[in-house]
């Protein structure tokens, strides 16, 4: 609504006075605004982004308990997940639980783990990636040896703190439809705000 302006005649002059009155919002209209804001937020929560709070230490030192993250749910509708992405997903053995891990191997690849060293053989069986993982927590590594070949819709995910992480070494490859999205922003704590926190690319680790 335009502001109401009133004119009062005083002697030989006209004085213009502007009256600004606060608009009173009825309770019904306020409730309507709240409902509208809620309805508008639903598509954002479902299709674009969701907030999550980290619980547990399987991704230390990259993420700590209490870190507040925003998950990008849109990007994977446009392109496939990549090696090095940190993702949030439904735990395959109990979809009501939500996990956070890092992708280390892609569909069709073969993952070889030997005493903490991770080697990925490409789907062409020729290219080999020996992962350099500077983000990993320091400490003793499990004395384990395993080989896993992924299907066309599977990813191999690991926690950054391998000694305490329950991941694809324990419950197997992650099928793509369980993926919720990629970690895009850390909003809390304020001293550690970051965009794409912990993201790592492996291009320089290719061996031929």
Q: Give me the phi and psi of 171, to 5 degrees please.
A: -110, 5
Residue 101 bears catalytic tag: yes
Q: 6, 55, 101, 182: which is the annotated catalytic residue? A: 101
Q: 6, 41, 58, 75: which is the annotated catalytic residue? A: 58
Q: Give the catalytic positions in this structure.
A: 58, 101
């Amino acid at each position: 609504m335009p502001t109401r302006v009133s004119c009062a005649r005083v002697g030989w002059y006209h004085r213009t006075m502007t009256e600004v009155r606060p608009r009173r919002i009825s309770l019904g209209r306020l409730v309507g605004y709240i409902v509208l804001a809620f309805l508008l937020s639903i598509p954002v929560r479902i299709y674009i982004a969701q907030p999550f709070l980290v619980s547990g230490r399987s991704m230390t030192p990259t993420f700590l308990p209490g870190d507040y993250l925003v998950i990008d749910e849109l990007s994977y509708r446009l392109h496939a997940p990549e090696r090095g992405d940190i993702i949030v997903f439904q735990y395959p053995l109990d979809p009501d639980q939500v996990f956070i891990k890092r992708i280390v191997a892609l569909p069709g690849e073969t993952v070889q783990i030997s005493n903490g060293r991770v080697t990925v053989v490409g789907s062409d069986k020729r290219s080999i990636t020996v992962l350099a993982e500077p983000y990993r927590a320091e400490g003793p590594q499990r004395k384990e040896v395993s080989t896993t070949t992924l299907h066309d819709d599977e990813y191999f995910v690991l926690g950054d703190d391998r000694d305490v992480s329950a991941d694809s070494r324990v419950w197997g490859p992650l099928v793509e439809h369980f993926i919720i999205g990629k970690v895009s922003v850390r909003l809390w704590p304020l001293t550690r705000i970051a965009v794409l926190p912990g993201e790592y690319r492996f291009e320089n680790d290719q061996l031929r």
